[in-house]
Structure 1
Amino acid sequence: MEHIIWDWNGTLFHDIDAVVGATNKVFAPYGLAPMDAEAFRAAYTRPIWVAYERMLGRPLHEGEWERLDQAFHDNYHELMHASELAADAIDCLNTWSESGRTQSLLSMWAHDRLVRKAAELGIDRYFSRIDGLGAGAPGGGKAEHMVAHIESLEVKPSRILVIGDSLDDAHAAEHVGASAVLYAGGMTSRADLAASGFPVVDSLSAAFAHAR
């Protein structure tokens, strides 16, 4: 492989506690019992509004998704300050950089916030490109964003490995002809990841076995 495309939330950035905490705050007025990480992973999918419908046990009403999404992000942006990079994230970024190969960051989080957070954590220098979401496109699938990201890299998709924590990451990689390995430390249950047929690892470092 020549290039790694990293996912952010739940992969490089270990924010599962912030995500679960924000989700619990959003659904408390609905009378839902607080979830732990495993209960959240059991319900999680993309697009996010499908996960919310699973949690509520019904379709969302007109305009309800937008309100829930805004409330989630308001709470998440308060809680995320306690989150840190995954335990071996820095070692992985260093190792790949020192190998002379390239890496980039593609996230479904807001672009401006993503760029600022990567700089704040001192890791922006590792990436040849950082892409997050622009305004007006939250919660959907990653495939179309992967297409645009890869077109900007000038690397053949067959020489790219995507490392992420959700089936959406793997399907986006598959959509463009890249390889994928899934990390079980994020938003999706290990059972769901394993059932997909894609390689699953329990640490970011272990993903390098697939990159080599």
Structure 2
Amino acid sequence: MELDFLPNRTTKATPAPITIIWDWNGTLRADLDDHVAALNATLPGLGGEPISVETYQALHRMPIRDFYADLLGRQLGDEEWHAADDAFLAELARRTVRLQRGARQLMMGLRARGVRQSLLSLAPHERLVGEVAKAGITGLLERIDGRPGAAVASKAPAMIEHLRALGPGVDPARTLVIGDSVDDAVAAHAVGAVPVLHTAGLHGATRLATAGVPLVDTIQDAVATGIAIIASGQLAAA
């Protein structure tokens, strides 16, 4: 893929490299249908009914335990919740890891042009690392960080630590966060990065529009839009 929107690396007074921090589920990984199917395999055992893709995109939120409570109309006890979460993850693990269309080629092109790339997700860390390896893109990422412990409500604290771990060479104003949730935008703003959200993931366009940041249909458009914002020197509106 031609990345004509990127500046030539050899131009005079080349600025610090652009950094892209990718989200995983629903962003690089094309797994919306997988998540809905895994959830629908889990809900009947809890007394719930299967839901549609549209309902999933409209209601999905973190922490996932609260998402279940919204769907079931009741809170889950600890034992019941852990069993449901294990069942969901087991069902999801049986599904092939697929990337969004053109994702690998896009990432390879970005790397060739000197763009740094990393991955931050609230998925369990060990599972995340394994899935990324199956997708064949580990070598394109400088760092991969998943959730090390219990589920959390926001990615913002993890984003702060992730950016710090990438090192002092990363300029937040030249960092692009690409995701599929309002929380991805919140996390980007927490570090002064540029957020761009896309509509091909786990959250629907109506919800994403409430974030007040650029909203596009594909990850390719997200890259082009975000880099244009960085090149202009103006951060996306909060």
Question: Do the structures match in fold with TM over 0.5?
Answer: yes
CA RMSD of superposed structures (Å): 1.7
1:72 equivalent to 2:85? Answer: no
**2:160 corresponds to 1:144:** no
Q: Deviations over 1:23-60 (max 9, x none)?
A: 11111123322112111111111121221111012233
- Structure 1 unaligned blocks of 5 or more: none
Match of 2:59 in 1: 43
Using the alignment, how far apart are the partners of 1:64 and 1:174 within structure 2? 35
Q: TM-score, normalised by structure 2?
A: 0.82
Is the contact between residue 88 and residue 203 of structure 1 (CA under 8 Å) also seen in structure 2? no
- The equivalent of 2:125 in structure 1 is 111
Alignment correspondent of 2:204: 189
- Is there any run of 5+ residues in structure 2 with no aligned partner, and where? 1-16, 229-238
Q: How many residues align?
A: 209
**Residue 84 of structure 1 aligns to a residue in which SS?**
coil
Q: Deviation string for 1:123-165 (max 9, x for gaps)?
A: 111111111122x323532111111100011212221110011
Q: Which amino acid aligns with 1:167?
A: V
State the partner residue of 2:227.
211
Is 1:49–1:139's contact at 8 Å kept on the other side of the alignment?
A: no
Q: Report the counterpart of residue 6 of structure 1 in structure 2.
A: 22
Write the deviation string for residues 47-94 of structure 1: whole angstroms up to 9, x where unpaired: 21221111012233344433322221122112x32x410012113202
Q: 1:117 to 1:62 in 2, by over 3 A?
A: closer
Q: What's the secondary structure of 1:85's corresponding residue?
A: coil
Matched, 1:99 2:116: no
TM-score by length of 1: 0.91
The residue type equivalent to 2:150 in the other structure is A
Larger Cα Rg: Structure 1 or Structure 2? 2
Task: Work out which structure has the larger RCO, using CA pairs closer than 8 Å and 6 or more positions apart in sequence.
Answer: 1
**Residue type at the aligned position of 2:137:** I
Letter of the 2:171 counterpart: K
